Amino acid sequence: MLPTFDPWLTSSIAADVALATYVSADELASRQRRRFADLLASVAGCSPAYRRLLGGRNPADVQLHDLPITKKSELMRRFADWVTDPQIELDALRRFTADASRIGEPFLGRYVVWESSGSSGEPAIFVQDATAMAVCDALEALRRPVLKSLRRVFDPWGLAERIVFVGATRGHFASTVSIERLRRLNPALSGRLRSVSFLQPVQDVVAELQAHAPTVVATYPSAAVLLAEERVAGRLDIAPQEIWTGGESLSPVMRRFVERAFGCPVVNSYGASEFLTLACECRSGSLHLNSDWALLESVDSNGAAVAAGVIGETTLLTNLANHVQPLIRYDLGDRIALHAAPCACGSKLPVIEVQGRCDDTLRLRGQGSATVQVLPLALCTVLEDEAGLFDFQVVQKGPCELLLSSSSGGEEAGRTLRRAASLLGAFLEGQGTRGVQVHCRSGQRFRRGRTGKIKRVIAAPD
């Protein structure tokens, strides 16, 4: 069964995205207003939850700030009232996403589905219709900077590219679903689009990358640094033309190290399960919000807007593309700053600064004097996806000692924590560690990083 794809709709939206890339700030605002009004009109008629939030008001008269903040946990509890298609049932979605063989397959024959990793402590399932996917496809294809212009001239459709994604590949996560969807849409490209699991030992990741010889590697910043270290050590012999990163904080030091190791540019992006392509990096190194299709509000702890250039306590997302599972003033949990100054690249799309995840890569004892590096996102995937533990923090106490904590208390929480520790220990042993002990502690307050955000994986001091 082919994934959700409407060629005429996709072409129309792609043309609009291409045009909007160069329009004025006033024209971008006009697009926002029109699409916000369309979204409210749609949900007022089809979503019981949002119909109640509108309180009988005419959608055409409602302003964004008139609406309350919505949270993931509340919406998931009222899932049947949230979605605009009553045929979308949560139990059926959960059965669908529990089957790895159906990754990239359309749900009900017309929806793309992926699950969040639960990094904010609450997993969720997100459903996209043909319009939402057409917007995602267009933004990804047209807003990512052209780093090697001559390659684009001789290969405008990227048919010669070999793209490998390094990340979590076992679940219905957005990146994995997107790659599998593209493979199904165009079988001729399937051999040039690959996913490599970062849950396997690093030497196996290296072997797969060398077998595929990618021209583009897409991964997380921490994974890019680990691969760069393998490259510098002479164990990884690939020559990508670009490295694409996202999902975590990418510091200037990390960027320079990866670029020097591979001799190619790194381009960063910002997205979420709730909106896959929120912002793309320009040639000047700024992240530009795709504000013609997504609204972001940086707010303080009371939900009030913060000044331009100030990092807020959380971010509210309004997705203007998805009418089937509407997200309006949705608490995304990220911390961003919206900048008022225009970018040197000339684009009128707003510049944002994102404080992403900044968990540590663990370095644990392996065989003999060897050290085994464990990526934080790989560890989190095991605890979330396999153990069902979303409320946790892992603190390294020594070369072969970890403390796994949960803020929850009670007998059931204790059982979940012990099961998670057992699964984590087995995973670490499979990575090549030797003698690592995982201690459990429930009812704990979590340590926070320097940004104020809770770090989920904390390495031992050097």
- Does 256 have pLDDT greater than 90? yes
Residue 117 — pLDDT band, cuts 50, 70, 90?
A: low
Q: Are 436 and 364 in contact (CB under 8 A)?
A: yes
Task: List, for residues 258-305, the tens digit of each pLDDT value.
Answer: 999 999 999 999 999 999 999 999 988 899 999 999 999 999 999 999
Which 3 state secondary structure label does DSSP give 456? coil
Query: Which tokens sit at 279?
Result: 């912002």
Residue 157 — pLDDT band, cuts 50, 70, 90?
A: very low
Cα–Cα distance measured from residue 248 to residue 220, given in angstroms and rounded to the nearest whole number: 6
Cα–Cα distance measured from residue 441 to residue 459, given in angstroms and rounded to the nearest whole number: 17
> So what's the pLDDT on residue 283?
85
> So what's the pLDDT on residue 350?
96
Torsion angle of the four alpha carbons 183, 172, 138, 219, in this order, in degrees rounded to the nearest 10: -90
Q: Are 113 and 126 in contact (CB under 8 A)?
A: yes
Cα–Cα distance measured from residue 206 to residue 232, given in angstroms and rounded to the nearest whole number: 13
Select from 394, 411, 389, 409 the least CA-distant residue to 446.
394
- Does 153 have pLDDT greater than 50? no
- Does 150 have pLDDT greater than 50? no
Which 3 state secondary structure label does DSSP give 421? helix
Q: Which CATH number applies to 7-355?
A: 3.40.50.12780
Residue 351 — pLDDT band, cuts 50, 70, 90?
A: very high
One DSSP character per residue, 2-66 reads PPS--HHHHHHHHHHHHHHTTS-HHHHHHHHHHHHHHHHHHHHHH-HHHHHHHTT--GGG--GGG
Residues sharing a CB contact under 8 Å with residue 78, sequence separation 6 or more, in sequence order: 49
Helix (H) or strand (E) holding 212: helix 202-212
In the chain, where the domains are located? 7-355, 362-458
Task: List, for residues 34-67, the tens digit of each pLDDT value.
Answer: 999 999 999 998 999 999 888 888 888 899 999 9
Which 3 state secondary structure label does DSSP give 372? strand
Query: Which tokens sit at 54?
Result: 């509108």
Task: List, for residues 363-422, the tens digit of each pLDDT value.
Answer: 999 988 889 999 998 998 899 888 888 889 999 999 999 999 988 878 888 888 999 999
Task: List, for residues 308-333, the tens digit of each pLDDT value.
Answer: 999 999 999 999 999 999 999 999 98
Percent of the chain's residues with pLDDT above 90: 67
Q: Tell me the fold of 362-458.
A: GMP Synthetase; Chain A, domain 3 (3.30.300)
Cα–Cα distance measured from residue 339 to residue 351, given in angstroms and rounded to the nearest whole number: 5
